[in-house]
Amino acid sequence: MKVILIVGDGLADRPIPELKNKTPLETARKPSLNKIAETGICGIMDPIAPGVPPGSDTATLALLGYDPIKVYSGRGALEALGSEVDVLPQDVVFRCNFATVDNNLNVVDRRAGRIETSDSSKLAKALKEIVLKEHKDVHITFKNTIQHRAILQLRGPKLSRMVSDSDPQKTGTPILTVNPRDDTPEAKKTADIINKFTRRSLEILKTHAVNARRIKEGLPPANAILCRGAGTLPIVKSISLLYGVHGAVVSVMPLIRGVCKVAGLRLLDVKGATGTYDTDVVAKGKAAVQALKTLDFVFVHVKATDVASHDGKVKQKIRMIEKIDGMVGCILKKVTLDETLVSVTADHTTSLVTREHEGDPVPVAITGPGVRTDNVKEFDERNCARGDLGRIRGKDLMPTIMNLMGKAKKFGA
- Residues engaged in binding a copy of itself (CB under 8 A): 14-15, 21, 23, 44, 48-59, 68-69, 72, 74-75, 228-229, 351, 353-354, 356-360, 370-374, 381-382, 385-386, 388-393, 396, 398-404, 406, 408-413
State which residue, 41 or 250, has the beta carbon closest to a copy of itself: 41
Asked if 150 and 122 touch (Cβ cutoff 8 Å), the reply is: no
Alpha carbon distance 120, 114 (integer Å): 10
State which residue, 224 or 389, has the beta carbon closest to a copy of itself: 389
Nearest to 340 by CA among 268, 274, 401, 255: 401
Residues paired with residue 363 on neighbouring β-strands, in sequence order: 44
Question: Minimum CB separation from a copy of itself for residue 344, in Å?
Answer: 17
Question: Minimum CB separation from a copy of itself for residue 217, in Å?
Answer: 33
State which residue, 136 or 410, has the beta carbon closest to a copy of itself: 410
State which residue, 54 or 275, has the beta carbon closest to a copy of itself: 54
Question: Minimum CB separation from a copy of itself for residue 272, in Å?
Answer: 28
State which residue, 66 or 119, has the beta carbon closest to a copy of itself: 66
Question: Minimum CB separation from a copy of itself for residue 357, in Å?
Answer: 6
Q: Packing angle between helix 185-206 and helix 117-127, nearest 10 degrees?
A: 120
- Tell me if residue 16 falls in helix, strand or coil: strand
Nearest to 335 by CA among 284, 277, 293: 293
Alpha carbon distance 44, 97 (integer Å): 36
Asked if 36 and 342 touch (Cβ cutoff 8 Å), the reply is: yes
State which residue, 105 or 408, has the beta carbon closest to a copy of itself: 408
Question: Minimum CB separation from a copy of itself for residue 259, in Å?
Answer: 10
Question: Minimum CB separation from a copy of itself for residue 264, in Å?
Answer: 19
The C-alpha angle with vertex 178 and arms to 176 and 184, in degrees rounded to 5, equals 160
